[in-house]
Structure 1
Amino acid sequence: MGGGGSLAANQLDFPVLARLAAHLPLSDGVREQLAGLAPQGVLSALRLRWQGDPAAPDNWGVSARFAGLGLAARDSLPGLGGLSGSLDGDERGGRYRLDSRDAHIDLPEVFESGRLAFAQLRAEGGWQRRDGRLEITLDSARFENVDAAGTASGVYRPQPDGAGEIDLQARLSRAEGTSVWRYLPRVVNQDTHEWVRRAIRRAEVPEANLRLRGALDDFPFREGGGEFRVTIRVVDALLDYAPGWPSIDGIFGEVRFEGPGLRIEAARGRILGVALSEVVAEVPDLDAMPSPVMRIAGKAAGPTAEFLRFVSESPVSARIGGFTEGMRAEGRGALDLRLALPLKEMDAVHGRWRIPLRCQPPVVGRGAARAGGCRGRLRFTADSLSMPEARAQFLGAPARITARTQPDGVVRFDAGGALNASALAAVWDLPVADHLSGSAPWRAVVQIDKGATRLEVDSELADLSSSLPAPLNKRAGERWPLRVRFEAPAEATAKRPPRTLTLSLSDWLKAELEWPANGAPVRGGSVSMPQRVSPCAWPSVG
C-alpha cells in the first residue's frame, strides 16, 4: 500500500468503515485520525486513488456523492453534520457542491454556542493550490435556520501552524435580533455575551452584513492587518440596557461590531413617553479588563413629566430619597442622557442627565409646595441631584430655587423670594388678603431623606402691614419673625405621627398640628398666644 492504491465503491457507510479500520492495512496514524474524526454518513459512487503513503500521499484524486456526512471537530478543524452533496478533484484542485437539510457546522473554538445549525444549506465552491498553499473557495452559499437566512462567499487558506487566513462576506436577508448573542465569537468576553443576550429583548432585522478578512490568529485585529465588521439594521427594537432602568423601545438604527468594539446608533427610539434621537451606545473594546464599559448618549424631547417619571422608575430614585415621586410637572422639556455601564458590574451604572424645565402652563410641585412659571435645569447622576438655579412663580411672585444632594444622601432645596401682598390677593380670593399691603422677603429649605420630608420657612415680615383687627394688626417696619416647620416622616410610628406642622409668629403666637398621611382630618394640636390673648387648645379628634 506504500506505493499507492485505489478504492471504488457504489456505497460506503462511514461508521462501518471506521469499525473495519482495525482490519485494513492502514497506518496507526490513519486509524487514529479516523477514530478522532468519528465519521458519519454514507458515500456513494466513490472513486479514490493515491500515490505514496496513505497518511500523506504525494498525489491523490477523489470523486463521490455523500449524504448525512458528519465529522467531529478536531485540531482546529470545524465539525460537520448532516451534509449532503458531491465533490470531484485532486491535490491540485477540485469542486464541491452542498445541498443539505438539517445540517450543522461545529466551531467550538470560534463561537460560544459552538454549533451553527441550518434547516437548509446550499453551497458551491472548490479548492486549489496557489503558490504552494491550499486555498478553499466558497463561490456562493445560501443558508437558513430559525435565527437567520442569507448568503455568503469567501476564501479560506489553512495554515499548519495557525488558524489560517480568511476573506469572507455574508449578508442576511432575515435575522432574529434576540439571537445575535449566539453568533458572537469567543473573543468577545463572557460578560458582553451575557449583556447582549439579556439586553436585546426584541428586534426585527431586515438586513445584516459581515466582513471578515485577515489572519484569524490576529482576530479582532486591534493592531490592524485585517478587518472584522458586522452591521445589523434593526427596526422597532427593545433594549433593556441595565437592570432596573427604563428600557429604550421603538429603536430604529444600526448595531455595528467593528474590530474589538461595539457601536449602536439609533436615529430614533423612546423611553417611556419621550422621543429619543441621536442615541449612541458604544463599547470601544469588548474584551477590556477588568470589565468593558458601555457608554450611552442621546437626546430626548417630550413632556417634562415623563422625564421625572424616568428618574422615579430608575435606581436613581432610591439614591436620592424618592424625591421625584409625587412631583408633578407640566409642559415640555429636553433631556441630555449620559450613561456608563460596566458590563461586568451592572449595579455600578453611573451617568448624568440634564432636564431643562420650561413649563407652560407651568406647575411643578411635591405635596403642598407648588411653583408655577418654572424655568431651570435639573441635573441627575446615578446617585445625586442638583439644580444650580431655577426661577418660578410662587404665590404670584418670582422665586429662586436651588437644589443639591448632600454628602449624607439628603436632597436639599433652598428657595427664596418676596411675598407681595397685591400678588397674593390676585392668587388667593380671600377677604383677608385685602387687608395686607407691602412685601415680605422669605426663605425656605426643603430636605428629603429616604421618603421623609422636612420643610422650613422663615420670614421677618418687616415690610408687610396689616389692617386686620387686633391682635393681627401690624405697621410696616415692625418685625414679626415667622417660622413654619413641616415634617412628614417616611413611616409613621406610635411615638411619631405621620405629619406635623409647627408655626410661630413673633413671640405671641405658637401653633402645632398633627394629622395622618391618608388625608384624614387633623387629629390633634394646640394654639397658644402668651401675650395677646388667652391660650386655647384643640382637643384630639377621634
Structure 2
Amino acid sequence: MIYRITRATKHLLLWSLVALAVSLSLVRFSLLSVADYKADLEDKIHELTSIPIKIGMLRANMRGFSPEIILKGIQVLPLEGKAKSSIQLEEVRLGIDLVQLLLTRQLLPSSWLTLVGVKLSVVRQQDGSLSIVGLNSEDSKQPLWLIQGGRYEVLKSDITWLDKQRHAQPITFNNVDLLIKNDSNAQTHEIHLVSQLPEQYGQALRVSMAIQGNPFEADSIDGSVYVEGSDIHLAKLLTGDMPLGMEISTGDGDFKLWSQWKSSQLQSLSGHIKAKNIVLHKDQNTFEINKLNTNFTSVNQDGWKQFGVSDFSITTATHQWPTAEFMLSANDSFTQLSASITQLDLQESTELLHFFAPLDEHKQQLISGLALKGMLKDFTIYMDSEKNTYAVNGNFSGVSTNAFSVLPKIENLTGSLKGTQSSGRLAFNTKNGSVFFPEVFKQAHSIKQLQGLVTWQQTTDQWLLATEQLVIENADIQTQTKLALTIPKNDQAVFIDLQTSFSNMHNISSAANYYPVDAMDKDLVDWLEMALVSGKVVDGKALIYGNLDRLPFVDDQGVFEVLFNVEDVKLKYAPDWPVLNNFNAEVLFSKDSLKVDVAHADAKQMAIKRTLVEIPAFEKSNYVSVTGQTEGSIVAVLDFLKETPLHPTIDDILETISPEGLTQVDVDLKIPLVDGISEKVDGVAHFKEAALIVKTVDLNVVDVTGDLKFTENGVFSKNIKAKALGYPIDITVDNKRASTAINIEGKTNVFQLKQQFSFLRHDFIKAEQENDLTRYKINLDLPAEESKPAKLNVKTNLLGIAIDLPASLKKSAKQKKSLDLNLLLDDQTLLPLTMKYGRELNAAVEINKQQSNIYSADIVYGKKLAVMQKNKGIKIQIERDTFDASKWMGVVASKKAAESELNAISLKTKQLQWKGKSYGAIDIAMHRSKKQWAGHVFSSVAKGQFILPFTDNDAIILDMKSISLSELMRFKSQGKQVSISDFPLIQVKSEQLWWNNTNVGQLAIKAEKLEEGVRFNNISIVSDTLKLELKADWLKTDKGHVTEVYGEVVAEDVGEFLSELDITNDLKETKANLGFFGSWSGSPSQFSLAGVHAEMDLELNNGRISSIEPGFGRILGLLAMEQWLKRLTLDFRDIYKQGLSFNSIKGHLKMRAGKLTTKDLRVDAIPARISIIGEADLQAKTLDHLIQVVPKSAGAVPIAGTIVSGIAGAITEVLTNNYKEGYFFGSTYKVTGQWDDITVTPLHDQDGIFKKTWTDLTDFSWTETLTE
C-alpha cells in the first residue's frame, strides 16, 4: 500500500513538474511577444493608476516561477494643469506570483511592483496624513493602490520628504531602498526604508513601521515605528517645528527610537541617544551640549505624563555633569508633580529646566537667580499647587545657591530635609561651607563646621523657626546660638530672640564680616571697618530681643547689646592719624552707641594711658570722641603728629629743628563720621627742660620749658622759655591762615656768635668791650602749603658789635646799623640766603647744608640788588661813585679772601682813589675759569683784555687796546718788593701806547724765566716812525740781584717824535739811532740814578735846528764850500727852510754813580763842527764841560758864536726840555756850575751870552722823575 502511495506520489510530482514546465514554457513563449503590447500596456496602466505614462522599451522574463515585465525609458506625463510631473522613473518591474495567484485567485495581492530610479515627493499633510504627489489616480486624491497591492519596492531612488505638519523644509534622500508589504485581509502594512544619506544629512537612516490603518487618512494609524540614524547631522535633518519651540543649529549623533502610535498620536517613546556638539535655541536662549549619552522613556496616557532617564550623561563647555537617574510625573495641567530621584545634579537639572521646561517668567527668574548646585540623593517630592500641599524627604550634599530675594547665598551645604507644608526639620551636618545674607552682611561667612537642628512650623498666621543649639565654627570665630524667630504672614514685624556667645576671633578685622549693615548706621560701619585693623577678640556675648523693625531699640522696646574684650588690637581711629598698637580694651555696643574703654595702648613709641573712645548715638553723632593722655619723647610726639592732618606744620618744624627730651600730651580728638565736616583737635604738649637743635644753623637751644597747644588749625604758644647762644630767649608760636609763625627774641655777644657761626670769624667783626651784647629777633614762617618752603628772618641793629670795614661799612659797637638776613628752608641741598647790611651792602648767598660752606654768592657793594647765582662760586660787584682801593687791599689780599671760592670780581667807579690821590673812572671785571682769571679793564691807564693764570708756569697776558704811560707814571709802587722767584711771567700787547696825548706806537713785552732769574726778551715800541727794542735780565748772582738792560732806538723823524711828546720843537727832520746798555743792583723797580751803570751811542742825522735865526743859517750854508756837493745835486732844502741844518750829531755817553760823561760828542753842522767833553752830575745837578767850536769857513767866524749857541741850545732842549737863547764869542769854552746857575768861561775872549745857552743844554731836570 505504501509502495502504491509512494509510486502514485512520484507520478503525481513528475506529471506536475512536467505540466509546470510546459506551462512555464508556454508562459515564456507568450512573453516573447510582449513588446507588441506596449501601447496597450500604456493604456492599461493609465486605466489602472490614472497616471499617464510613456514607455520607451518593454520586455519580459521569468523571475523564478513568476513572470516579470520590465519597462524602461518611462516618462510620467504631467497631469492636466501641471507643467511638470512630480514623478520620474528609470525602470519599472511588474511581476505575478503564480503560486499565490493559484492559491488566492486574486491578481493584485499576488502581484508586485518594483520602481527603479524613482524621483518622487512624499508629503505629510497638516492633519498628519501622507500623500505621494503624482501617484494618485484620477478618481482619488491618494494612491490607494499602494496599500492594496501585495508588495512594492522602490530601489535606488530619490525621495523628497516634506512635513507640512511641522512646517519643515523639504529633504531629499538619495539612493533610497523602500519596501512596502501589504496584508489586505488584515489591513496591516509593513514599511521598511533604508538610505545611505547624502553627506549633508549624515551617514545612514533606517525606518521600519508596522502599522494598521490607512496612512493616507488622518488619525487612522495604529502601530509601532522604529527609527535608527547613524552620524546624523541633526540641524539639516530636523527642520520645522520642534518640541517646546526649540531650534537646533548644529549637532551630530546616533539614535535608536521605538515609538507607539494610536490614532496617529504618539503614546510612548523610548530609545538611546548618543550625540555631540549640539546647539539648541529657544526664545533667544542657547544651550550647548558637547556630549550627550542617555537612555530614556516617555509615556503620555490617561492624563499623565511620565518622563524618566537612566545613565543620563551630559557634558557642556564648562564641565561634565555626574550621571543622573530620575523619574518625573505630572498631570496634563502640571498642577500635580512628583519626582523620585536616585541621584541628580542640581545645576544640571536647573539648567535643563531653565531651557526645556515650559515655566512661567517668575519660575524662570527663580531658577536663574538661585543658580542651584549640589546633589540630591534618595530624594522624593510631591507637590499639589491647587491644594497648596507638598511633602519632601531626602538627603542633600554640596548644595549651593545664589542670593535671591530674601534667600541667602549658600555654599556647600550638607544635611537632610524632611517635612510637609505644616512642619518639618532641617538637620545640618556641614563642613567647609559658607552662607551670605547680602541684605544683612557685607561679606559671606565661611563655615568650617555647622551642626544643629532647625525646626519649622506653619500656623494659620505665622511661621515659627527655632533652634536650641546651633554650633558654627569657621576660621574667624566660634559661636553657639539659641534662636527663636517668629515670622508673621501679614505685614507685622519679625520677632527675634537671639542669644549668642562667641570666642577665639584671632583677627578682629574680620569682624566687619559680621556687622549687620542693614541695621547699623553706614558711617559707623565704615568707621569700624577702618578702625579695627588687627588684633583678637578674646570672648564676647550678644543679645537681641524684640521686633526686628525696632532694631537697635533706641526707644527701649527691645534689647540690643554686644559686649566683648579685645587684646593686641591695632586701632586706626581716624584716616589721617597714626594707629594705636597693643590696644587692650572692653568694647560695648548698646542700642545705638559705642563705648571703648582702653586700658593700654601705644603709638609711635608713646605710652597711651587711660583713653576713652565713644560714639554716643550712631544716628545723631557726627563724631567719634577720643580723649586720653600720652607720655613719651618729644621726637615720638612729633613723629606721631607728623602722621596727622597737622603734618604740614610738624614737617616744617622737624625739618627746622631736632628736639630732645620728654613730654606729656593731653589729647581730645573729634573724628568725623560723616562727609563734609573736618576733625577737631584740642591738645597740649607740656615741655620741661627740653632741648632742640636748629638744623640749618646747627644751633643748640636748651632748657625749653612751657606748653605747646595744638588744634586742627595748627600749633600755638604764648610763652616758652629757653636758652640759646649763651643767653635766655623767649619763644612764641602763632598760627595764621596760611602759615605757622615762630618768633624768637634774645640777645648774645660777639664771642658766642663767632663760636656758633664760622663765617663770622673775621677780624673785622669784634666787640669793643667784653660785656657788649646785641639783641636780635628771629621769625620762622612755616607755610601751610607743602610746596612752599619755610622762611627764616633774622633782624638786629648790631648794637654792641663793631664792624671794622673800610668806608661807609665801618661802625663802632655803640652805633646802630641794620642787618637783615632771610633764609628759605626747603628740602634742597642749597640753602638760599639774602642779606642786607645798612643801605650800602647786600648779598644773595646759597649755602651747602651738607658741607656747611658757601656754594655761591653775589655780593654787591652799591645800590644794585644782588641775585642768586646759577654757578658755584662767589661774585663781588662794586659800584661806587668814589672807591679808595688802597683801603680795601688789606681785606681783599687777606688769606681768607685768597682761599675763598671767589670766581668773579667787578669794579665800576667814577673816581678811583689810591692813597689820597684820584685816578679817574675805572671799569674792571674778571671771572675765574678752570686755569685762570680773565677779564677786561677800561680806565685812563689802560683799555683791553687780560688773563691772570693760577700757576707761575703760565704767563700773565695783557691784550690792550691802549696803555697810557704818562697816566701809569702817576701810580707809585707800594708795599714789599716782589722777589725774583715770585715774579710772574708776563706778556703785554697794546695796540696803542700813549704819552700824554701822543700815540707812541704798538707796545709788546714778553718775559720768560731763567734758572738764575727773569728775562724780558722782547720789549718793543713800534710805529711808522719809531722802533724801540729792548731786552732786560733780572738775575740773581752771588753778590745779589742785578738788572741789565740793552737795546736800541731808531726814529725816522726824532724831531717830530720829541715835539709830539712835548719835549722840544727845535729838532726837525732828524733821523735818530740810539744804542744803549745799562745795569744796576736790585730788581727792575729798584732803578736809581746813583746805582745805574750805563753806556749809550747817540747818532742824529740830516736834521735841522729850528732855533737858529733863519738869515744867518741860510747865508752860512751858502758860504760853506763843503756843502757845494749838495748844491750840485740841487739840494737847497737847508736854504729855504727855517733854522740850521746839520749832517750829524754823534757821541758816546757813559753813566756812573749818577754822572753822565762824554769825550766825543760831536755836532757836524753846515757852518761848523762842535765837540763836547765833560760830565753832568745828575744827582747834584752840576755841569763840568769843555766846548770847542770850529767853523768850516773863514767868512763864518764873525757869526760862529751865534751858530754854536743855536746848536748847543737845540741839543740842550732835546735833553732838558728848556731852551735858552745865547751867543758864543769864542771857539773854546769852559762850562761849570749848578744847572740853574752855570758859569761859561771863554778860553779865547769870546764868552758873550754862551752862558745862557749852555744852561739850557745841561738842564737834566727830567731825571727828577726817575729818582722819585
What TM bracket, shorter-length normalisation? 0.7 to 0.9
Aligned partner of 1:158 in structure 2 is 487
Aligned with residue 541 of structure 1, among 885, 902, 911: 902
Q: CA deviation at 1:515?
A: 3.1
* CA distance in structure 2 between the partners assigned to 1:304 and 1:10 by the alignment: 76
Aligned partner of 2:857 in structure 1 is 524
Q: CA deviation at 1:401?
A: 1.1
Relative to 1, partners in 2 of residues 1:31 and 1:384: Cα closer, same or farther, differing over 3 Å?
closer
| Paired residues of 1:311 and 1:324 also in contact (CA < 8 A) | no
State whether structure 2 residue 462 is matched by structure 1 residue 102: no
* CA distance in structure 1 between the partners assigned to 2:567 and 2:831 by the alignment: 53
Aligned partner of 1:454 in structure 2 is 792
Q: What residue identity is the alignment partner of 2:446?
A: A
Superposed CA RMSD in Å reads: 5.0
| Paired residues of 2:732 and 2:744 also in contact (CA < 8 A) | yes
State whether structure 2 residue 659 is matched by structure 1 residue 329: yes
State whether structure 2 residue 768 is matched by structure 1 residue 437: no
SS in structure 2 of the partner of residue 112 of structure 1: coil
Relative to 1, partners in 2 of residues 1:502 and 1:87: Cα closer, same or farther, differing over 3 Å?
same
Aligned with residue 219 of structure 1, among 529, 534, 551: 551
Aligned with residue 605 of structure 2, among 249, 252, 273: 273
Aligned partner of 2:560 in structure 1 is 228
| Paired residues of 1:421 and 1:437 also in contact (CA < 8 A) | no
Q: CA deviation at 1:102?
A: 2.9
| Paired residues of 2:836 and 2:843 also in contact (CA < 8 A) | yes
* CA distance in structure 2 between the partners assigned to 1:20 and 1:473 by the alignment: 107
Q: Which of the pair is proportionally richer in helix?
A: 2
Relative to 1, partners in 2 of residues 1:460 and 1:17: Cα closer, same or farther, differing over 3 Å?
closer
Aligned partner of 1:354 in structure 2 is 684
SS in structure 1 of the partner of residue 652 of structure 2: coil
SS in structure 1 of the partner of residue 771 of structure 2: strand
* CA distance in structure 1 between the partners assigned to 2:853 and 2:363 by the alignment: 93
Q: CA deviation at 1:74?
A: 5.6
* CA distance in structure 1 between the partners assigned to 2:844 and 2:590 by the alignment: 65
Relative to 1, partners in 2 of residues 1:534 and 1:73: Cα closer, same or farther, differing over 3 Å?
same
Q: Relative to structure 2, which stretch is displaced further, 193-202 or 341-350? A: 341-350
| Paired residues of 2:642 and 2:651 also in contact (CA < 8 A) | no
* CA distance in structure 1 between the partners assigned to 2:674 and 2:848 by the alignment: 42
Deviations 1:15-50 (A, max 9, x none): 59989999xxxx999989986877766677879999
Aligned partner of 1:142 in structure 2 is 471
Aligned partner of 2:702 in structure 1 is 372
| Paired residues of 2:778 and 2:792 also in contact (CA < 8 A) | no
* CA distance in structure 1 between the partners assigned to 2:673 and 2:843 by the alignment: 52
Aligned residues: 515
Aligned with residue 167 of structure 1, among 478, 489, 497: 497
SS in structure 2 of the partner of residue 498 of structure 1: strand
Q: Which of the pair is proportionally richer in strand?
A: 1
Deviations 1:339-373 (A, max 9, x none): 3333454994442332222235x335353254210
| Paired residues of 1:119 and 1:145 also in contact (CA < 8 A) | yes
* CA distance in structure 1 between the partners assigned to 2:379 and 2:419 by the alignment: 12
SS in structure 2 of the partner of residue 437 of structure 1: coil
| Paired residues of 2:649 and 2:740 also in contact (CA < 8 A) | no
SS in structure 2 of the partner of residue 367 of structure 1: helix
SS in structure 1 of the partner of residue 853 of structure 2: coil
Deviations 1:35-78 (A, max 9, x none): 687776667787999999742x6xx9987655445676566354
| Paired residues of 1:70 and 1:80 also in contact (CA < 8 A) | yes
SS in structure 1 of the partner of residue 635 of structure 2: helix
Aligned partner of 2:638 in structure 1 is 308
Aligned partner of 2:832 in structure 1 is 498
* CA distance in structure 1 between the partners assigned to 2:753 and 2:350 by the alignment: 99
State whether structure 2 residue 508 is matched by structure 1 residue 177: yes
| Paired residues of 1:42 and 1:69 also in contact (CA < 8 A) | yes
Aligned with residue 297 of structure 1, among 615, 624, 627: 627
SS in structure 2 of the partner of residue 325 of structure 1: helix
Q: CA deviation at 1:322?
A: 2.1
Q: What residue identity is the alignment partner of 1:299?
A: Q
Q: What residue identity is the alignment partner of 1:514?
A: V
State percent identity of aligned pairs: 21
Relative to 1, partners in 2 of residues 1:285 and 1:392: Cα closer, same or farther, differing over 3 Å?
same
Aligned with residue 823 of structure 2, among 454, 474, 487: 487
* CA distance in structure 1 between the partners assigned to 2:495 and 2:650 by the alignment: 54
SS in structure 2 of the partner of residue 401 of structure 1: strand
Deviations 1:430-474 (A, max 9, x none): 99789422655554333233322222233574xx699x9997765
| Paired residues of 2:780 and 2:790 also in contact (CA < 8 A) | no
Instruction: Name which one, 1 or 2, has greater alpha-carbon Rg.
Output: 2
* CA distance in structure 2 between the partners assigned to 1:44 and 1:513 by the alignment: 92
State whether structure 2 residue 749 is matched by structure 1 residue 416: no
* CA distance in structure 2 between the partners assigned to 1:230 and 1:286 by the alignment: 15
Q: CA deviation at 1:293?
A: 3.4
Q: CA deviation at 1:95?
A: 5.7
* CA distance in structure 2 between the partners assigned to 1:74 and 1:416 by the alignment: 74
Q: What residue identity is the alignment partner of 2:648?
A: A
* CA distance in structure 1 between the partners assigned to 2:744 and 2:362 by the alignment: 87
TM, length-normalised to structure 2: 0.35
Q: CA deviation at 1:122?
A: 0.9
Q: What residue identity is the alignment partner of 1:152?
A: T
Relative to 1, partners in 2 of residues 1:68 and 1:321: Cα closer, same or farther, differing over 3 Å?
closer
* CA distance in structure 1 between the partners assigned to 2:429 and 2:397 by the alignment: 9
SS in structure 2 of the partner of residue 322 of structure 1: helix
Q: What residue identity is the alignment partner of 1:252?
A: N
Q: CA deviation at 1:273?
A: 1.6
Q: CA deviation at 1:204?
A: 2.6
SS in structure 2 of the partner of residue 221 of structure 1: coil
Q: What residue identity is the alignment partner of 1:483?
A: L
1:110-121 paired onto structure 2 within 5 Å = 110-113=440-443, 115-121=444-450
| Paired residues of 2:832 and 2:846 also in contact (CA < 8 A) | yes
* CA distance in structure 1 between the partners assigned to 2:901 and 2:462 by the alignment: 98
Question: Which of the pair has the greater relative contact order for Cα pairs under 8 Å at 6+ separation?
Answer: 1
Deviations 1:238-285 (A, max 9, x none): 234444543322222244443334444432222212122233333445
Q: What residue identity is the alignment partner of 1:146?
A: A
* CA distance in structure 1 between the partners assigned to 2:848 and 2:387 by the alignment: 90
Aligned partner of 2:614 in structure 1 is 282
* CA distance in structure 1 between the partners assigned to 2:815 and 2:779 by the alignment: 21
* CA distance in structure 1 between the partners assigned to 2:569 and 2:674 by the alignment: 23
| Paired residues of 2:504 and 2:539 also in contact (CA < 8 A) | yes
SS in structure 1 of the partner of residue 428 of structure 2: strand
* CA distance in structure 1 between the partners assigned to 2:700 and 2:677 by the alignment: 34
Q: Relative to structure 2, which stretch is displaced further, 131-140 or 85-94? A: 85-94
Deviations 1:201-224 (A, max 9, x none): 322333343222221112222333
Q: CA deviation at 1:396?
A: 3.0
Q: CA deviation at 1:109?
A: 1.9
Q: CA deviation at 1:236?
A: 2.1
Aligned partner of 1:250 in structure 2 is 582
* CA distance in structure 2 between the partners assigned to 1:19 and 1:135 by the alignment: 33
* CA distance in structure 2 between the partners assigned to 1:541 and 1:311 by the alignment: 44
Aligned partner of 2:17 in structure 1 is none
Q: What residue identity is the alignment partner of 1:138?
A: T
Q: CA deviation at 1:142?
A: 1.7
* CA distance in structure 1 between the partners assigned to 2:739 and 2:564 by the alignment: 44
Relative to 1, partners in 2 of residues 1:326 and 1:252: Cα closer, same or farther, differing over 3 Å?
farther
